[in-house]
Amino acid sequence: MTKGDEESTDFAPRYDDQGLIPAIVTDASDGSVVMLAYMNAEALRLTLATGEAHYWSRSRRELWRKGATSGDTQKVVDLRLDCDQDTVLLSVAMAGRGVACHTGRHSCFYRRVRSSPKGYRLEII
């Protein structure tokens, strides 16, 4: 990255060596972080073109329109890139049940790390 790229208005997302960029997803209704997903160039292109969040599933190795099966679609309200253009921040209106997590929860971040006499544990909140 050359000096000044942080002030550039050129759209130039940077993908990792697997062709992916992480996308932080927030609920537009309250700003809370609901999930982290990954996009390839096609997923980002479709997200911008359709206004519906698309991701790349690393486990299934396929392009994925969020909610295509579950109905829990995500309409893009705002899409940003960070200073290095290697992370996406998506603000979405959550349709369907209003859940982002495959466990049926609103957010994937439902476990807090706690210290315990035996080391660290997770607390479901």
Site for a copy of itself in 47-66 (CB under 8 A): 48
Query: Residues 66-105 vs a copy of itself: string with x where CB under 8 A?
Result: ------------xxxxxxx--x-x-----------xxx-x
79/87 Cα distance (integer angstroms): 11
11: contact with a copy of itself by CB under 8 A: yes
DSSP 46-67: HHHHHSB-EEEETTTTEEEETT
Site for a copy of itself in 12-31 (CB under 8 A): 22, 24, 26, 30-31
Q: Figure out which of the listed residues 14, 19, 29, 36 binds a copy of itself, where binding follows CB under 8 A.
A: 36
Q: Six-digit token pair at 61?
A: 């190795």
13/17 Cα distance (integer angstroms): 13
